[in-house]
Structure 1
């Protein structure tokens, strides 16, 4: 008499949680949200629209302004749009409850935060840099016969265009960190506007030298230095500005990471 061994029950294949899979998941979530492309489209349109307007209406009155700063004045508005998107990337998941699924799928938690930051920063920098180049070239159609005539190959131009894009990206990473820290879209936007945009203007009213020196390393002041072709008397060097912005972004993300490990969600 022989016995037969019953077939082993079918089990669903398991997939290990790897950095590449977490990155792919976060990229899929980011690119499939309509708000991502609407927000970025508005940001790009603001930069290009203001840049064309500045070039078409230039009459020589603003000759002392750095050419790259002049044509990219629209980034003062677009940076708010990109920052809001950064807040939505993190705080938006808390508002919908999707963060529970994300953290359940990746129990170690921190890879989710790092992947969100990496995917968002890559997309924000790529589109911002491309928009800056397009805006510069379009504005030069009207500026080619003026004292602001420049080309992409001129010294410092590409560096300033890339620096501006890096500044906006790093500012937005600060916003992303604030969104995850506060877990609320309105609170994140309020904190970014109040702490990053308004607080430096309030502190600027204090005439003490140490306050004025410290303000040069605040995010908005540092971003202005990073996106300029020439260093002015009251600005820091592009290298110092880049380091300063990296430290601000790192502080926001590391603080968020520490709390993410300790919180229930």
Structure 2
């Protein structure tokens, strides 16, 4: 009579069974929709984008007669939204940071990575859920911002239609850009594992660099400025290519490359260090 073979113990820190990606995805969906900060941050982002769009539409309508010919020529029905995005993108970036750093600050990350030993699956599921949530909210809020601004702009004949050339692409593209911003912020949060520091870095990457790039001298400075994260990404918001920006889809693609590179770096770091 032969003895039954002994079961090999699972390696330390590894699950005895393989966790399916669908289960990880479901767990991340449960987490993101049950955490109160998700709802409030999304609401704050919506209020900021819609509110600042309305304010800038009022400001442009009130000052349009005093604008120069160049300023008038570059004005589009999307201009108030383009300005408002500089405020809203930091809020959506903060959401991306909080989705990951909250788990590090509470210690939940250790439980999560014990349950899901394959860290690539864990990060991929978290990224996908965040991306889908922000994409849905971002597109809806950008549409709402557009339709809030147009009646205000109509008083000066500055309003437009969603069917105008490039406008629908700009509105939908705005939601896609917000999604990429949140995912980039998630990657930065994974790299730093610190909420405040990560949010500051998001602010620097999306706001400060864009302003600083405008002070770079010469033609090379203008070229570098076009490829800075916020300047590249914001190109998608213009109905037609602007003289000092990349083409809309090119700019969004450049921002997507930044995001993918940071996300890959985040995965490498997560694989190599302890939770």
Structure-2-length-normalised TM-score:
0.85
- In the other structure, the counterpart of 1:188 is 198
Matched, 1:53 2:60: no
Distance 1:245 1:170 in 2: 8
**Shift in Å, 1:161:** 0.6
Task: Determine which of 139, 146, 164 is the counterpart of 1:154.
Answer: 164
Task: Determine which of 124, 141, 148 is the counterpart of 1:131.
Answer: 141
- List aligned pairs for 1:28-47, cutoff 5 A: 28-47=30-49
Gaps of 5+ in 1: 1-13
Distance 1:200 1:154, change over 3 A: closer
Task: Determine which of 242, 257, 262 is the counterpart of 2:252.
Answer: 242
Matched, 1:217 2:227: yes
Distance 1:56 1:187, change over 3 A: closer
Which deviates more from structure 2 when the two are superposed, residues 206-215 or residues 60-69?
60-69
- In the other structure, the counterpart of 1:9 is none
Distance 1:54 1:194 in 2: 23
Distance 1:195 1:135, change over 3 A: closer
- In the other structure, the counterpart of 2:9 is none
Distance 1:252 1:157, change over 3 A: same
Larger proportion of helix: 2
Distance 1:230 1:178 in 2: 31
**Shift in Å, 1:47:** 1.5
Structure-1-length-normalised TM-score:
0.88
**Shift in Å, 1:158:** 1.1
Kindly tell me the number of residue pairs found equivalent between the two proteins.
252
Distance 1:139 1:200 in 2: 25
**Shift in Å, 1:179:** 0.3
Q: Secondary structure of 1:73's match?
A: helix
Distance 1:202 1:113 in 2: 32
Which deviates more from structure 2 when the two are superposed, residues 89-98 or residues 185-194?
185-194
**Shift in Å, 1:136:** 1.2
Matched, 1:23 2:33: no
Matched, 1:176 2:186: yes
Q: Secondary structure of 1:236's match?
A: coil
Task: Determine which of 30, 47, 66 is the counterpart of 2:76.
Answer: 66
**Shift in Å, 1:197:** 2.3
Matched, 1:262 2:264: no
Gaps of 5+ in 2: 1-15
Task: Say whether the 8 Å CA contact 1:175–1:192 is kept in structure 2.
Answer: yes
Distance 1:130 1:263, change over 3 A: same
